Structure formats: C-alpha cells, structure tokens
Amino acid sequence: MKFASEFRDPKAAKALLAEIARVADGLGASRKNPVHIMEICGGHTHSIFRYGLDKLVHEGIEFIHGPGCPVCVLPRARVDECIEIAEKEGVIFTTFGDAMRVPGSKKSLLQAKAAGADVRMVYSPLDALELARRNPGREVVFFGLGFETTTPSTALAIQQAAREGLANFSVFCNHITVPEPIKALLDDPHMVLDGFIGPGHVSMVIGVHPYDFIAQDYHKPIVVAGFEPTDLLQSVLMVLRQIAAGEARVENQYARVVPENGNPVSLAAIADVYEKRPSFEWRGLGEIDASGLRIRPAYAAFDAEEKFGVGYAGVRTELEEPEGCACGAVMTGRMKPVHCAQFGRGCTPEMPLGALMVSSEGACAAYWQYGGARAAQ
C-alpha cells in the first residue's frame, strides 16, 4: 500500500525505538521520573494504542492524552441544546455519526430520534444542504462540530446556502480552536508537561505558526505529527532531542501534508463566515476565552442559535458531570481512563456515561477498543 506501508515498516520502527531509548536514557527518564509528552489530537491517541506504541517506547516516556477530541470536549448542556432544536416541530436535525450517542443530561440525539425527533446522520454539511433543497417546508439544521479541520467545510456550506438563498438551512455552530485550550493547560500549575505532539489534520488547515506561543512563551517543544506509527515515533524522538538540547521550537514532522502557513482557501472561508466568541465552555476546562467560533452577523440568517434562541443566544445552563464520571479529568490529561471508577463498569461503549467512551477519537474508547476488559481490570 504505497504511501502507507512505508510508514509502518518494522525495521524503521525498531531503529526509531532504539534511538528514543538512547536519548531517553541520556535524559535520565525512568518509570518513576518520566518525560511527559501530550498528544493533543484524539486521532493520535487511537494510533498510539492501535499500534501499541505506549508499550513499545522507553519506559520513561509517558503519553498524556489531551483535549483534541471535539465531541468529547462538548459540555452536556450543548448536547441538550441540540436535542431542544431537534425536537422542535418541522426540524430536520443533521449531525456526524460521532455525536449521535453522546449523552446529554437526560438523553442522546439517538434516543431523541427513537422518541420521534427527525435526527439524521450525514457525512458532510453538503448532505444537509441537499436535504434543505429537497425539503423547502422544513427547517434543516446542521450540527457544526469540530476543530479547525471541519470548520472550512461548514463555512463553505453556509456560503453556498447564502448564494442559493436557502433560508431553511442553518448551522448550530460549536466549532472550536486548538491553541486556546493548550494555553489553558499550560497555565494550570498542576499540569506537568514536557512537550507536545501537535495535531496533523488541524495543522493542515491553520499551519504551524499558531503554536509558536508554546515554544516562545512556555519554552516547551512541539512537533506536528502524522498518524502512522513511524510518524509518531519520529515525532517523539524530535521532542526528546529538543529537550536534550535545551531547545523549544515548533517542528513539522508531517511536512508531506501540513504546509507551514496552512491552507489559504480554507482560512479565507473561515475568516469570511466566522468570528471568535468572547468565550466558550469546554468539558473539564470550563469557559476559555476566545476558544470558540460563532457565525458573523452577515450570515445570521443561517445561525441556528439566533434562529431558535438557544445556546449563547438564549438562556444557558452549566451542567455538572454525571456522578462518578471523570471525563473532564481524562480529557485534560489529569487522569488515565483506567483510573476512572466507571471505566468498563458503569461506562461501556454499549451504555456510555460520558462522551469519551463514544467518540471514535475519545481516549476511553481507545483504551476499550485496544484493551477491552483487560484495560478495565
């Protein structure tokens, strides 16, 4: 499989593991005194466990799982607001599949669908646009969810709706940005982080310079990484070499995909349609300044918050985590999934208590998928 198998070559992986061990030994890293490297992206978390990299690297390397799963960081109140919209008469509520089973305070979108709400899974906001064209007498709402990776496609859908005058199409915008929660974690005196593996897909859109503050202001190395095993191993090695040299820089291991300055077409669409919110609520982190996007007034006709008076346009409620749920602590790297008392007991993929067990990028889902009952034990 050209362009994939090359990055899964066992000989290359063994060579990288040997060099990681050599540098880690030179740093004096050990199980009791590890180097803490946070992989920001949930896709990286799953790759680490899929390929067993957490077991293969030097025992002095500890992976800290970051808040890079957009479904997981969504607070329960926002899920409740989705359901509130979906249950309105005449609404077709569309969403990516990952969000269907995320629990709100009383039910999930899937349960709302089972109770009669018209909730439909789509693969793209363009699918929602087509539904709006075919159903002119219905309000079609797309659940705009995700980091900078998915934001451009939603922006382009809104632009297209404006060109066509599709007044029955709107977006419930929950798009969020990566740099701000990383700053919040770095400002937390209880977090011990020595370096970062930066998100590849997000960086494909925004480039590498939005992470400059991590190196310049906090003196931590960050390496933007791909998703294959040797991508991640090489990125770990690059982080370790910076630490060993007393350096802190932004490096791009994923240069075959990530341009230094991002994708100008995507960035232009985002800038045209969205503006920064004053703040946005994150699961486990609370309100973070300027960490979310909202639809600009020029496109207010396509803003579901304004159209239905929910979310930040309405009366907001902050909800605590369900009793015993440690999603917030896991999402912010303060706890491993297996240390949650509900993991594999009160919370399983079949009956999830929190979003991290549902999402394809959730840390709990990764532990369960690649460890299952053994991880619970």
Q: What is the pLDDT along the chain (377 residues), one digit of tens a residue?
A: 466 788 889 999 999 999 999 999 999 999 999 999 999 999 999 999 999 999 999 999 999 999 988 888 888 899 999 999 999 999 999 999 989 988 898 999 999 999 999 999 999 999 999 999 999 999 999 999 999 999 999 999 999 999 999 999 999 999 999 999 999 999 999 899 999 999 999 999 999 999 999 999 999 999 999 999 999 999 999 999 999 999 999 999 999 999 999 999 999 999 999 999 999 999 878 899 999 999 999 999 999 999 999 988 666 666 677 777 888 888 888 889 989 888 888 888 888 888 888 888 888 988 888 875 555 55
Residues 294, 171 within the same domain: yes
Q: How many CA atoms lie within 13 A of 346 on its CB side?
A: 11
Start-end of H helices in 135-178: 151-164
d(CA 359, CA 356): 6
Total domains in the fold of the chain: 3
Claim to verify: residue 271 and residue 168 sit in the same structural domain? yes
> For position 142, which CATH number holds?
3.40.50.11740
Residue 139 lies in a domain: yes
Closest CA to 218 of 38, 44, 98: 38
pTM: 0.91
Residue 335 shares a structural domain with residue 287: no
Give domain status of residue 318, yes or no. no
For the beta sheet containing 61-68, the strands, ordered from the edge strand earlier in sequence to the opposite edge, are 61-68, 35-41, 195-198, 222-224, 250-252
Tokens of 112: 């709302």
Residues 165 and 268 in one domain: yes
Q: Please report which helix (H) or strand (E) contains residue 61, including its range.
A: strand 61-68
Q: Which residues, in sequence order, are CB contacts of 55 under 8 Å at separation 6+?
A: none
236 belongs to a structural domain? yes
One domain for residues 38 and 136? no
43 in any annotated domain: yes
Q: Judge if 213 and 360 occupy the same domain.
A: no
Q: Are residues 283 and 335 in the same domain?
A: no
Here the CATH number for the domain that contains residue 53 is: 3.40.50.11750
Residue 338 inside a domain? The answer is yes
Q: Identify whether residues 173 and 103 lie together within a single domain.
A: yes
Asked if residue 353 and residue 237 are part of one domain, the reply reads no
Q: According to the model, what pLDDT value does residue 316 have?
A: 60
Distance CA 251, CA 66 (A): 19
- What pLDDT does residue 377 have? 56
Asked whether residue 80 falls in the same domain as residue 167, the answer is: yes
Last residue of a domain, one of 252, 273, 300: 252
Is residue 321 assigned to a domain?
Answer: no
- Cα dihedral across residues 331, 144, 95, 207: positive or negative: negative
- Same domain for 171 and 93? yes
Domain range enclosing 11: 6-69+188-252
The answer to whether 353 touches 360, Cβ cutoff 8 Å, is no
Q: For residue 200, what are its two tokens?
A: 């590849």
Same domain, 156 and 60: no
Q: Is residue 373 part of a domain?
A: no
First to last CA, the chain: 37
Residue 376 in any domain: the answer is: no
